[in-house]
Structure 1
Amino acid sequence: MKRKHEKREDEEEEVDGNESDGSSDTSDSNSDDSKEEIIDVDFDFFDPKEIDFHGLKTLLKQTVSNDHELFNLSALADRIIAQPHLGSVVKVDNSDDPYAVMTIISIIPDAQTKKLPQEIATIKDYILQKSSKSSKYHDRLESLLSSKKCGLLINERLINLPPQIVVPMLKMLDAELVESVTQKKSANFEYFLVISKTYTECDPLILDEDDGNSSNALKKRKTKKSVNGAAGKQVILNFQVEDEIFEKFDEFHFDYKFSNQNDQSELMQTAGIKTSRRLYVIERSKLPQIQQAMDQLLN
């Protein structure tokens, strides 16, 4: 099994060191709590396998979030599993379920039929539809998807996993891409598309207990002035810190909202966060530079 129990010791030390530095001045009880969070946690890297099917669907659902019903996530998970030579999943302490995945899903039409599988065509159409509000980026993206070898780079993990795991995953993916092209197992990709999770801050939609109609109560809160001010433009923030590097090296990017805008989501009600997405377009040739920059940022 390739990469089983593979983990860089220097990364483990760095993650642990950051945690211990933050708790050096706390009480004994707090120190004990901190130690409980970091003790004996192993990050194991594996090829995607059939046992990962449901976990992969969960991770893919995180990527597309509100719009998950528009996609055939089962078919996409099967496609990831069908290419074990490309991509990795991360498991923790011998868990059966993957906690993270990084791989490439090809958006290249079949050489003979000149068509895309339905689950891939859905992704392409969705991305082009989201870019249509900006003719500048829409035309470029449409041209790339029709004339270049493009792939969707999936970089997804559960929220409690440290971003440091991205560094070895990206390094392994780069090496696998080279090997797969040499062995003619995958296309020689020219561009990658990366869907990034983003958010803006807003007023929490807290239920008005005096209002018997919960729907009306939420609507009342929605009319409140934005925390960023009515005149000022809202700042779009990244959920995943490594996306700063993708943005630094991208050819272009654009932001978009979900087709299914669920304004009464739990995050909006409790945390005052409204989620959205950003699409990065990245040249495959820049992957080594991205690796190096991520290593410097995260380690």
Structure 2
Amino acid sequence: MTIGRGFALALLAAGLAPASVLVAQSAAPQSAFRWTGELSQGGLIRGQAPAGTVSLTLDGQDVPLTPEAAFLIGFDRDAGPQAELVATLSDGRQMRQSLSVAPRAWRIERLDRLPKYPVPDPEFQRLRPPELEQIRAARAETTDAQGWRQPLQWPVKGRISGLFGAQRLYRGEPGSYHSGTDIAAATGTIVRAPADGVVILAADQPFTLEGHLLMLDHGQGLNSAFLHLSRIDVRPGEHVRQGQPVGAVGATGRATGPHLHWSLQWRGRKLDPLLVTGPMG
């Protein structure tokens, strides 16, 4: 069964695809694994393990599994071409499924100069480590959120001004790539939860880079981060529903103008919000 062909074509037709998305094939009919989604770098799949599965691993790492053996898996921007799922059944048997992860052609800008990095001032060096620790601790939280089961919705609509995965090479040396999708919108534009979730971080005091930072856990290792907000309307531990207002667009932190930077991660793997969510309607 073909996964994501219609979405891939729509993405390309919209002129917004940062990469040539190769449409992958799902498990063969005789396989007991089933899934839907984009089996590609930056993609996300929702699946069902074989009946009787008591544990599941992806390349040797544990994958959260529901009582009905449903699972969620994300593929990092730099994921390799092959991965392997291993399901351990209640009788001790193991079932294996190879996954072919489609590559993406990322937008790369090559510059014949060295990057211009500002010299960090003492205040930045003092503030940044505890900010990073708060982000790390938030991503380590697990909640009972079930938003991972829902098709994600755009938190705000507007012109896409920055693509996930875009990167600059300075004299052949790679700089850091863009880890989210930027959406240009006026300051004060309402930001809505893309799926049900639990607030795991709400930085009322702006962070040095991210500004007012809001993070939501959607369950099964999937979380969202919203950067540069002008305000945050929810509090840590609060359960939010898909479409609920959670904040407003701004230009706090290191931002050149008002926009929302939305990033998605699954267990530390960085995902492409545009690929996962689909074209803006």
Instruction: Note whether the superposition's TM-score is higher than 0.5.
Output: no
Q: Which has the higher helix share?
A: 1
Name the TM tier (shorter chain).
under 0.3
The structure whose Rg is larger is 1
Provide the TM-score with structure 1 as the length reference: 0.26
Q: Which has the higher strand share?
A: 2
